[in-house]
Amino acid sequence: MIPAVSQVIQLGEGVVRKVPVPRISFAFEYVPIGIEYFPRSFPLHFESRSGPLKCGDLHAIFTPDNRDSWTEARQTLQELDRDNAVSIATIETLALIVALDEAPPLTATEPVSQFHYGGKNDAANRWQDKSIQFVICSKGISGIVGEHTMLDALTLDELMGDQFTATHASRSRHAAHDGLIPVYMPLKTDTALDTRMIKVQGEYTASMASMAGSEHVNMLSGGYGAAFLRAQKLSPKSVFQMVVQLAALATFSYIPPCWETVNQAHCHLGRVDIIQVVVPAVVTFVQAAADSPVPMSQRRALLVNATHAHSRP
């Protein structure tokens, strides 16, 4: 169960086995390595990492756990050993991860579970703090897991086209290159971390079992005031979007551009319908909401205008 890690900032690619990470450089003696050499890097990793997985190979299973759990585990790993801190820093500078999964999803619904969660067998084969992960399963089935892509299908369409072209291009494979020998970056654990990994793995297994046979899971939340907002002739979704914009202002000290997907019916064509969220009425409200001298009655009126502008683009 081996994720490969492509590294752009440090000009390298790595391969991870549930996560002792080997790094492979994109350049050797300051000369870029041609892509035709890279298929040879995976057999080298398979040969060097054979044998059963141990508990200490499950570090990445912390990353999809709740934020507090992962934050604590990350700090513990860093403080436990200096090599751990270097390894984590390297992983966190990677531009993307390529996860090589053992499982071959066969039915129409199995890929969803496999790509997002790692299925039943590959749970620790994701580093969920990365913005984009390529998942390649047995039998060549593959998918992309993206976290907050800017414009959904629009963002990935050109990338997918490049992948298709590269996959079908006629390219000879060269022998192994000296620069593609894996250099491993260790992640050491202690008894307490091993115990926590087993606990998280058990919780994951139970969660996967509860979703068995489900094609789609809706996470619903009630009691947040939707009925009250509708009684005020306000769209709950639009109000929550205003909350997002207020949070963005508080985080960045300015109002960043923002788009929202409103229709995915055309996603199969490589595009979706989107709207621009930060329109003049929204900007006026967000600026006023952060300005305490503005009377509450005026802020409410500006909120109404902003939500109407959002819900009727």
Each residue of 20-36: pLDDT tens digit? 455 666 666 656 666 66
pLDDT score recorded for residue 18: 42
pLDDT score recorded for residue 19: 42
Both 206 and 255 in a single domain?
no
Query: Can you tell me the distance from the alpha carbon of 255 to that of 1, in angstroms, rounded to the nearest whole number?
Result: 42
Q: What digits encode the pLDDT tens for the residues 78-110? A: 999 998 898 888 888 877 777 878 888 877 667
Both 152 and 278 in a single domain?
no
Both 67 and 135 in a single domain?
yes
pTM of the model: 0.57
Would you place residue 128 in the very low, low, confident or very high pLDDT band (cuts 50, 70, 90)? confident
Contact residues for 137 (Cβ-Cβ < 8 A; gap 6+): 101, 102, 103, 104, 105, 114
**Is 221 among the domain residues?**
no
Q: Which of 45, 59, 116, 148 is catalytic?
A: 148
Place of tokens 């992960």: 133
pLDDT score recorded for residue 151: 46
Both 79 and 161 in a single domain?
yes
* Secondary structure element (H or E) that encloses residue 307, with its range: helix 296-311
**Is 151 among the domain residues?**
yes
The reply to whether 148 belongs to the active site is yes
- Read off the CATH number of the domain in which 124 is found: 3.30.559.70
Q: What digits encode the pLDDT tens for the residues 236-261? A: 888 988 998 998 888 888 888 787 76
Counts of helices then strands in the chain (DSSP H, E): 10, 11
**Burial class of residue 161 (count of CB atoms within 10 Å of its CB; 0-12, 13-18, 19+):** exposed
Contact 216, 117 (CB under 8 A): no
pLDDT score recorded for residue 171: 61
**Is 219 among the domain residues?**
no
Which is more confidently placed, 163 or 154? 163
pLDDT score recorded for residue 212: 65
- Read off the CATH number of the domain in which 272 is found: 3.30.559.10
Last residue of a domain, one of 210, 238, 264: 210
Residue range of the domain that includes 270: 226-311
**Is 286 among the domain residues?**
yes
**Number of domains composing the chain:** 2
In whole angstroms, what separates CA 40 from the centre of its chain?
27
**Is 216 among the domain residues?**
no
Q: How far is CA 120 from CA 84, 125, 207, in A?
A: 27, 11, 10
Contact 243, 223 (CB under 8 A): no
Q: Averaged over 195-210, what is the pLDDT?
A: 83
**Is 231 among the domain residues?**
yes
Both 206 and 286 in a single domain?
no
Query: Can you tell me the distance from the alpha carbon of 74 to that of 129, in angstroms, rounded to the nearest whole number?
Result: 11
